[in-house]
Amino acid sequence: MTQCFKELAGSPEEHWGPSGFTATRHVVVPWANREAMALEVVGDGYEFGTTGAITYPSTEAVKGVRVASKPFVASPDKQGVFDEIATELNAYKLAELTIEYETIPAPNISFPGIDPDTFLTYSMDFGGDVMTLPKQALKWESAPNSPVPEEVKAVIRLPVIEHHLSWTRVLAPPWNAIRDLIGKVNKLSFIGLEPEQLLFNGCKANKEFIVLDELQEPQYGWKLDYTFRQRTIHGAIEGGPLVGGWNHFFNGLLAKWDRLLPVLYQSGDLATLFGQETEDPFDEP
């Protein structure tokens, strides 16, 4: 911290819960320094001043995420008649800042390397696809020579895990990589999964306010919500690897899982989804 402040009595407030540790602090700073203090707390992650959000004392994963400001004494120094709403404000001696801290989850799987001044969070969901096995692959265990009637439908459920990676404060998203990789599977091992087990299902992108720069111009970054679908087939290839992925289907003639050719899902380097481009084409000139 480079801004002088005084912490008020009754601060901090600390909470422990399912989302981890959170805290709120109430501090007083000179009115003219309120924005500089806010920038020190939440950071900006880029070239506009600081290098990232500060951490809560004696912690590493708990970071400043929001700052609210109000007059410490609600009596302005000068209460004149204003004639320009866009440029004139009440002036005060002191500002009270409410600083909120939250736990930023640490990666619990092998995430790709990203810009250290951006944030990456992860969540997982479960679902499944269904598949009907071909009739020629079926036989009765107790009577292998007896035909399987047409009305018998061997429907199996293939578990699918959805991996959600949210990447925030991205200045120049990798738009070209996003467009190229949608619908493709991982060519290389990615977040701990073998090739062809992870399908890039798409991305939701939102442009968000980051900070006001020294010229009081708003600066924006992107939040990218990536969705990947994992399909892992156990015992896919006899005598080979014990897992298969999106290009494996059940071979009714051989009665086993096999890789279908030509492949239905092309592969690509999914790690390129986490590299920033040199400029953002959506930026205003």
Range of the structural domain that residue 262 is part of: 119-274
Give the phi and the psi of residue 250 in degrees, each rounded to 5: -85, 125
242 and 217 in a single domain? The answer is yes
pTM summary value: 0.60
The answer to whether residue 169 sits within a structural domain is yes
155 and 262 in a single domain? The answer is yes
Least confident of 35-49, 198-212, 213-227: 35-49
The answer to whether residue 260 sits within a structural domain is yes
The answer to whether residue 212 sits within a structural domain is yes
pLDDT band at 52 (very low <50, low <70, confident <90, very high): low
98 and 129 in a single domain? The answer is no
In this prediction, residue 227 carries a pLDDT of 96
pLDDT at residue 40 is higher than 50? yes
59 and 159 in a single domain? The answer is no
